[in-house]
Amino acid sequence: MSQGTVTLESRELSKTYYSTDPPTEVLLGIDLSVRAGEFLVIMGASGSGKSTLLYSISGMDKPTSGNVTLEGRELTSLSDAEMSNVRLTRMGFVFQQPHFLRNLDVRDNILLPALKGAAKGKDKDAAIARVDALMERFGISHIKDHGITQVSGGQLQRASICRALAGEPSVLFADEPTGALNSSMSDEVMDALTDVHRDGTTIVMVTHDPGVAARGDRVIYLRDGALVDANEMGPWQPDTAQQREDDLLTWLRELGF
């Protein structure tokens, strides 16, 4: 899909949790368009619905109403198996906690979606070579045989990015990817994500950290389940980083952040 065209779109997206009394309306009819190759950041106070929005547009959760399309394909009407296949082949995920399988070493954890994809027809050897290359690129090939309890949080999160990229997704979803890391590890991870974005991968990221959000091309702001404003910031450059962060903070303060 060419740069600039809308790749992911939600219309009238609502989500209500009926397990609470009274039911909690978390998303109130969100209209959102994500352009191909864009790095979109979702911000908002705790409980504003930003993670729910991320999981609803990525098909992890089913919205209560509204619809989501990815590359022109309606996601909300897909079956569980079809949606799983979309996640496998078109999406990648990075979570706040790395969420790796304890029974696999780092490399096998990264390989898992690639192997799963290979089962769906992609070439397995190519997938393995791609994973090895990704680990090399993100500086974690030396820990490939390690158990996940034997490596640092930053290494794990970079491994998480490798796993998300293993299936060559068109969109990478990241939910507070630096939320559990210290500042130096946080920078490692954001450098990695910025690298991925430069390669042309679309990124949708949730964060509450303005420093991290400054990496994005565009920041949208959610309040009580509604999209209240958006800030087009353009491509990130290392030399303007501080300026972007200050501008973003000013904008956020105006929104009551």
Partner 1 sequence: MRSTTVKNGERLYLRYAYNDLSRNKGVNAALIVILILSAFLMATGSMVIERLAGSISRLSEQGKPPDFLQMHLGDYDRAALERFAADHESEIAAWLVEEMLGFDSASLTWERPSTGENGDLAASRIDNLFVTQNAEFDFLVDWTGGVVRPAAGEVYVPVLYEQQYGLTAGDVLTISTDAGPHRLEVRGSVKDAQMAASLSPSSRFLIHPEDFEALARAGGAVPEIIAEYRLTAGSDANAIQTAYEGAGGLPTNGQPVTGQQLRIISMISDGLVAFALVFISLVLVAIALLNLRFVISGSLEDEVHEIGAMKAIGIPDRAISALYLTKYSILALVACVVGGLLAVVAANALTQSIETSYAQAPVGIWTFLVPLIALAAVYVIVVAICRGVLGRVKKIEVVNALVHGSTLDEKQTARRAKREARWVRRTGLASSSGAGVNRRLALLDLRAEGRAWVLVPVVFGLTAVLITLPANLVSTFESPQFVTYLGAPERDLRADVQFQQGVDDVKDRLVAAMADDDRLTDVQTYAYVDYSADSADGRARLRVEVGNHVDGAIRFSQGGLPQDGQIALSILNAEKYQVGVGDDLTIDDGDESITVQVSGIYQDLTAGGQTAKMPGEVTEGASAYTVFADLADDGADPAGIADEYGEQFPTAGVKPTQEYARETLGVLIDSMRGAAWIALVFGLGVAVLITSLFLKLRLTRDRPKMGVLSAIGFSANEIVGQVRTKTLLVVAAGTVVGLVFAATAGQSLASAALAAAQLGITDLTFIPNPWLVYVLYPLLLLGAGHLGVALLTAGIRRADKSQWL
Member of 9, 27, 50, 87 binding partner 1 (CB under 8 A): 87
Q: Could you tell me the two tokens for 52?
A: 């729910």
Rounded Cα gap, residues 211 and 244, in angstroms: 9
Query: Long-range contacts for 178-181 (Cβ within 8 Å, ≥24 apart)?
Result: 178/207, 178/209, 178/212, 179/96, 179/207, 179/208, 179/209, 180/96, 180/97, 180/153, 181/153, 181/154, 181/157
- What's the rounded Cα separation, in Å, for the pair 142 and 34? 36
Closer residue to partner 1 (CB): 99 or 198: 99
Q: Quick one: which of 170, 237, 175 has its CA closest to 34? A: 170
- Each residue 20-39 as x (binds partner 1 by CB under 8 A) or -, in order, gives --------------------
Question: Is the Cα torsion angle 155, 158, 164, 165 positive or negative in sign?
Answer: negative
Q: How far is the CB of 2 from partner 1 (least distance, A)?
A: 25
Footprint (CB under 8 A) of partner 1, residues 157-196: 163, 167
Which residues share a beta bridge with 206? 42, 175
Which residue, 140 or 248, has its beta carbon nearer to partner 1? 140
User: Rule CB under 8 A: is residue 89 a binding residue for partner 1?
Assistant: yes
Pattern of binders to partner 1 over 115-154, x per CB under 8 A?
Answer: xxxxx----x---x----------------xxxxxx----
- Should residue 73 be labelled a site residue for partner 1 when binding is judged by CB under 8 A? no
Does residue 46 belong to the site contacting partner 1 (CB under 8 A)? no
- At 172, phi and psi to the nearest 5? -110, 125
- CB-wise, 39 or 55, nearer to partner 1? 55
- Is the Cβ of residue 85 or residue 152 nearer to partner 1 in the bound state? 85
The interface mask with partner 1, positions 90-109, x = CB under 8 A, is: -x-x-x-x-xxxxxxx-xx-
Which CB sits closer to partner 1, 180 or 249? 180
Q: How many residues touch partner 1 (CB under 8 A)?
A: 45
Q: Shortest approach of partner 1 to residue 56 CB, angstroms?
A: 9
Residue 47 CB, nearest distance to partner 1 (Å)? 15
Q: Which is nearer to partner 1, 15 or 35 (CB)?
A: 15
Looking at beta carbons only, is 111 or 233 nearer to partner 1?
Answer: 111
Per CB under 8 A, residues contacting partner 1 are 51-52, 55, 60-62, 80-81, 83-85, 87-89, 91, 93, 95, 97, 99-105, 107-108, 111-113, 115-119, 124, 128, 145-150, 163, 167
